[in-house]
Structure 1
Amino acid sequence: MAPWTHAESGENTMAMTSRERVRAALAGEEPDRVPLDCGGTEVTGLHGIAYNALKEHLGFKGGSTRLFHIYMQLAAVEASVRERFHGDVVRLSIEAKQWKPWTLADGSPCEVPEGWNPVRIEDGSEALMGMDGKPLIKRLPDAPWYSPVGPICPLIQEPGDIKQYGALLRMLDRSPWFDESLDDVAARAKHLHIETDYAVAGIFGGHIFAQSQLIRGMDNFMCDLLANETLACALMDTLAQAHIEDFDAYITAVGPYLDVVCISDDLGAQQGPQLDPAMFRRLVKPYMKKLYGHMKSKMGDKKLFLHSCGSVYDLIPDLIEIGVDVLNPVQVSAASMDSKKLKAEFGNDIVFWGGGCDTQRVLPLGSTQDVRDEVKRRIDDFAPGGGYVFTQVHNIQPGVPPENIAAMFDAAWEFGG
């Protein structure tokens, strides 16, 4: 297979800025080179442990490892690291006003929001406690991230129960310890837009299906879809409407400064969609369509980025239909998610943002040469004709060799030019 080269071949005499490069890709065009995303969203980043190891590998001293996502323990990528790997995208999310020193699971240092105060429970876990005194989420002593303990709202048993939990449901997409106001976020967004040439990725959230699973418990909600459609649909409709109201305030504040709006809703598993496609279309898709249609009506020329893990091949036409412009993470190791196949079938209708290196096997377990070969293959598959932003499949986890992380981004720069 011939390697990918820019359509004009040879030397590019007019290099694009990062923002121009990403905007061209988002428009389905072929930019001067493949845009690179190094920690530019909450689903294309690095766990704090992996980030600290990478900085040590690079010989970068000083700075700080701030966890902008507590549950997933994700580090805010500093400008020096982004520049080292030629990143074109910068993340815009609601931050904490005050930070304090903390320690990651491996003992390495980080910073967390001042308001983050988990408690130690009997099994040694760090836990966030609910109003009933029971843990909502916890991190086991040797675990790298936090996981739900059970349903967030176990008392929701029928549609009439939902309303009393309205404030809590809204909080699931915005943790209270990240306490900036929208005015604060807008000021940072304006600075990034005016003072830098990065593409700005606004992190909104917008979970419907995944959030319903969190609220009711995954098993319970999947059973609801089969045996209690009234409750399932009432919950999804409530979430969609809450997201619509929150989005109106969000886009008014920061919309002029964004290039892409990022939302998430995991629909896939390793071997296929979580739901039979017919069930998805009948029960879940209408609420996603309601939300996404409203968002698109307010976004102007901004693009809508959806993170949806796993094998979503069977659902991609539906996602395109309801307004998704960009698909992430493009989990190439899942069933039916071959990069060449995806590009051939859907490359004219959706932008692929991700899929640049398999994070289940190649990045954590392969050699640096394996990583380089993987990156070259994916760029050769995805880049022709444009409509592609390079990054790995989802967030990089602890234990991934830092030399492989560096090899991945260096190969993307080498082969994407």
Structure 2
Amino acid sequence: MKPRERFHAAVNHEEPDRVPLDYWTTPQAYENLRDYLDITASETQDWGIMSTWKTSEELLKRLNLDFRRVYMKTAVGFKPQPLPDGSVETEFKCGMTLIGGYYEVTYYPWAEFTEVEQVEEFEWIDPDDPSRMDGVLEWARYLHEETDYAVVGMVGGPWGVFEVVAHYMRGFDKFLIDLLKRPNLAEAMMEKSMKLAIEMNRVLLDEVGEYLDIVQVGDDLGHQDGLLISPRIYRNMVKQRHKKIYSDIHRRAPHVKILYHSCGAVEPMIEDLIEVDVDILNPIQPLAKGMDSAQLKRKYGDRLTFHGGIDLQHAMSAQGTIEDVRAEVDRRVKDLAPDGGYILAPAHNIQPESTPEKILELYDYATKKGMYPID
């Protein structure tokens, strides 16, 4: 089977020739692997979850990956500026500081807002800046017409309704209080975020939607041991906005599948996510509370495709062994792959402590172990 055929069989809950493979990693882990393999080919392809960086086609082929990615770009006219707290301003107006290999938000532009009008009047980015799509159409068309890979499209930058406000614009502490004490202000912030998400997706899909197989979205709702907000708050304040965003994606590009990212222990919200038109759930963190892969498959496997599942907290960590990596692949394939509906990938970004040997073993072993019929 070709990679795109493999993906479509899996997402339609049919058994392909093998489980499709995808790849999320930190730049540091990628560079370690690249250097270990002595790959010197040009790094021409954007990669990453939110902020993109470059990778080479040679490395993607070495891992037997079935997906390639298309990103909107930052507007050409945007120039990052230093902020008083020492962070660097992003196009979304929040400030980011490099801490331990990750850019963390340290400045929140909505932190001092007290009135709905301040939110409504806030000047955000312009989705229609033509430089955002410079070269994107040509790349998407090439991937669709000249390769056999499944093509993932993404607007880039912060995405979502709850998370973009809490994590990037307002700050978690204040926004969680807003949801209970200042609901009108919280609703205005999420409404503005929702409208921007719809407009960004509009630009992407109107330009390249016909060449995409997947649109990647996300909104973190969980942490290691539970939910960030209650199911009641989600259903009363967030869910209808998710529904509007994802229904609009399916309206503009009925053929695409929606891949939704949420870290953590989100099992109590999976039924709701299915109801708002999510097709694929990522990253299935197996050590988070309630995220047992066998139980998830039994409960939701006929209505949802699972993406991820490979533990990074132990098996792929410095404490894990090659045998742990193999056992992890064995477990996730056994639990999630029968009857299709599974894309094997790490349960978030592969960390710098994951050695090149473990990364190669993960993908080489998964290529063999993921062959159908599943043992």
Query: What is the Cα deviation at residue 314 of structure 1?
Result: 0.2
* CA–CA distance in structure 2, aligned partners of residues 69 and 152 of structure 1: 25
Structure 1 position 157 matched with structure 2 position 108: no
Task: Give 1:57 deviation, angstroms.
Answer: 1.9
- Pick one of 14, 17, 21 that aligns with 1:36: 21
| Alignment-derived partner of residue 139 in structure 2 | 188
Question: Cα deviation per residue 1:232-289 (whole Å; 9 max; x = unaligned)?
Answer: 1111112212222232222110101000110011011111111111221112112111
2-structure distance, mates of 1:81, 1:379: 23
Question: Could you say which residue in structure 2 is the equivalent of 1:167?
Answer: 124
CA RMSD of aligned residues (A): 2.7
Number of the residue aligned with 1:51: 30
Q: Could you tell me which amino acid in structure 1 is paired with residue 351 of structure 2?
A: Q
Aligned residue number for residue 146 of structure 1: 103
SS in 1 for 2:155: strand
Q: Does residue 361 in structure 1 map to residue 346 in structure 2?
A: no
Aligned pair partner of 2:206 in 252, 257, 260:
252
Question: How far does residue 413 in structure 1 lie from its aligned partner after superposition?
Answer: 0.4
Q: Distance in 2 between matches of 1:145 and 1:211?
A: 17
2:72: which partner in 1? 94
CA contact (8 A) 1:86 1:413 kept: yes
* TM-aligned CA distance change 1:253 to 1:274, over 3 Å: same
1:293-308 equivalences in 2 (<5 Å): 293-308=247-262
Q: 1:389-413: per-residue Cα shift (whole Å, max 9, x none)? A: 1111111122221111111111110
Q: Choose which of 60, 77, 93 in structure 2 pairs with 1:82.
A: 60
With normalisation by structure 2, the TM-score equals 0.90
What amino acid does structure 2 have at the position aligned with 1:163?
E
Quote the Cα distance in structure 1 between the aligned partners of 2:284 and 2:177: 28
**Whole-angstrom distance in 2 between the partners of 1:285 and 1:359:** 29
Post-superposition Cα deviations, 1:3-29, rounded to whole Å, max 9, x if no partner, equal xxxxxxxxxxxxx11111011112122
- Partners of 2:330 and 2:37 in 1: how far apart? 23
Native 8 Å contact 1:270 1:310 kept in 2: yes
Q: Choose from 347, 368, 372 the match for 1:414.
A: 368
Checking the alignment, whether the CA contact within 8 Å between 1:307 and 1:327 is kept in structure 2 is: yes
How many angstroms apart in 1 are the aligned matches of 2:49 and 2:347? 20
Instruction: Indicate how the Cα distance of structure 1 residues 313 and 189 shifts in structure 2: closer, same or farther if over 3 A, else same.
Output: same
> Is residue 74–residue 132 contact of structure 2 (8 Å, CA) maintained in 1?
no
Q: For 2:262 and 2:69, how far apart are their aligned partners in 1?
A: 18
Tell me the TM-score normalized by structure 1. Answer: 0.81
CA offsets 1:343-369 (integer angstroms, 9 cap, x no match): 1100001010111x1011210120111
Report if the CA contact (8 A) 2:215-2:257 is conserved. yes
Paired position in structure 1 for 2:289: 335
Kept after mapping to 1: 8 A contact 2:109/2:170: yes
Q: How many residues get paired?
A: 366
Aligned match of 2:163? 210
Residue pair 2:47, 2:55 contacting (<8 A) in 1 also:
no
Give the unaligned 5+ runs of structure 1.
1-15, 39-44, 99-113
In 1: Cα distance, 2:30 partner to 2:265 partner: 27
Distance in 1 (CA, whole Å) between partners of 2:266 and 2:172 is 18
- The answer for the alignment partner of 2:335 in structure 1 is 381
Tell me whether 1:199 sits opposite 2:150 in the alignment.
Answer: yes
SS in 1 for 2:123: helix
Change (3 A) 1:71 1:379: closer
* Distance change >3 Å, CA 69–CA 163, structure 1 → 2: farther
Q: 1:392 aligns with which of 342, 346, 353?
A: 346
Q: Is the 8 A contact 1:331 1:358 kept in 2?
A: yes
Corresponding letter in the other structure for 2:15:
E
SS of the residue aligned with 1:331?
Answer: coil
Show the counterpart of 1:18.
3
Q: Deviations over 1:361-390 (max 9, x none)?
A: 210120111111111111111100001111
CA 1:244–1:75: 2 relative to 1, 3 Å: closer
| Aligned-pair CA distance for 1:307 | 0.5
Q: Evaluate the alpha carbon distance shift between residue 70 and residue 145 of structure 1 in structure 2; reply closer, same or farther with a 3 A threshold.
A: farther
- Encode CA deviations 1:79-133: one digit per residue, 9 max, x unaligned: 11111111100011124799xxxxxxxxxxxxxxx977676999xx7x31489xx
Tell me how far apart the structure 1 counterparts of residues 43 and 224 of structure 2 sit (CA, whole Å): 35
SS at the partner of 1:76? strand
Do the aligned partners of 2:22 and 2:344 also contact (CA within 8 Å) in 1? yes
Q: Which consecutive residues of structure 2, in runs of 5 or more, have no partner in the other structure? A: none
Structure 1 residue 67, shift from structure 2 partner: 7.1
Q: Contact 2:263/2:284 (CA < 8 Å) preserved in 1?
A: yes
C-alpha separation in 1, matches of 2:147 and 2:230: 44
1:47–1:396: 8 Å Cα contact kept in structure 2? yes
Aligned to 2:244: 290
